[in-house]
Structure 1
Amino acid sequence: MNIESLYAPVSIGETSVVGAHCTLGYPKEARISAEQKLPGSPLVGSRVVVGERCQLANQVVLYEGVKVGDDCVLEDRVRIGYDSTVGAGTRIVYGAFVCDRVTIGANAVVAGFVCDGTRIGDRSTVMGELLHEYTRPHQDWWEVDEEPPVIEADTVVAFGARVVGGVRIGPRSYVAAGAIVTKDVPPEHIVTGVNEHTPADQWTGRRLQGLIAHWRTTAPGKA
């Protein structure tokens, strides 16, 4: 169904459910600022699209231009910034704060904080924080456009982990809870501590052996 909201046109799949006190199509800050200087101009933003069989729980906020694929679940208090894309079958949980222009693949699970422009691959899980370096705080907030992290497919960023700056992780890597990453992580590596990388085939910990075995059988080119 199509809805003319206060802020932007909204398309919601007929089989999707929207909970209480949700805001869909809220305008990005730059457009509000520009139109505040032009009294009387219509405050209508880019269309929000929510696919079929989605569940948007309570107090979800989708900014203008957001596109959510089919079969997604957005739990209570999730925020997704403008021009972001969420792939089919993805679950956004625990009140995640997803910033602007973020791309999330299909069948992913995302919580925590995700900075502007981040890319998260298919089937990845991100429970930690994906952050810019923020090395130029003396410049205007909108002048600086730092490189964001890239999380490749089938990668896990566990609770309390922090990925800082324009680094690339995976595919098929695991950033352990509480780890800090400021350097690229090759495919099929385990990260602990501060930038401590261990190839998966050398990992002796018992708890990840099932996941590592799964990587071995499902990675491209492996039987």
Structure 2
Amino acid sequence: MADRTARKRRQTRDHIAATAHALFERDGYEAVTMEQIAAQADVARGTLYNHFPVKEAVLVHWMHAQLEADLGTLAAEVLSRESFLSRVATLLDVSAQWWEQHRQYAAPYIRFRFQQVRDADEGEPSSGLIPLYARLVADAQKAGELRPDASPERLAFYLHFLYLAAVMTWLGTPGISLAEEFSQALAFFVQGAGQTATAPGGKKRASRRS
């Protein structure tokens, strides 16, 4: 019974998000209201707000669903690469192309994601990129590419916030390349998470080997 309820809830959320996205594409994101989404999706306003408190949450759900659908084929390509650097670079190159095609949604997405962090809101699942990052980090730690003294999950979150910061920089700086911003973010992450770390006081130390 619980599984059926959860499945029905997911179906309703997916339906609302798909309907909203069609409206965003037709009328522009800023022009669409929650009332229009409810009417077009044929759900009561109360039902809509029960699933999504704000319009940004609807958008984020649609974007995460798209990412989840794409990761199945993309993950195989990423894992075919040999090194952590080449694996994540492949993932970020595809991400940059995706954001270039959906630039109009980047600002509301970023606003909502950082609002979630501020409010510690776990109502909307995080991006499917984070579990994939964690897997890539764990593999890199076993291979000796990354320091083993932090959990893969923690390092995955650090990498994802660098990812979001790169998107923010791209949005706020006309003419720059998102692919280049991602490349710089990845280089910064690898420098900090590599096998040689900086200890308090500025001294270099070698990370423990597993």
What TM-score results when the alignment is normalised by the length of structure 1? 0.28
Which is bigger in relative contact order (C-alpha 8 A, separation at least 6)?
2
Q: Going by fraction, where is strand more abundant, 1 or 2?
A: 1
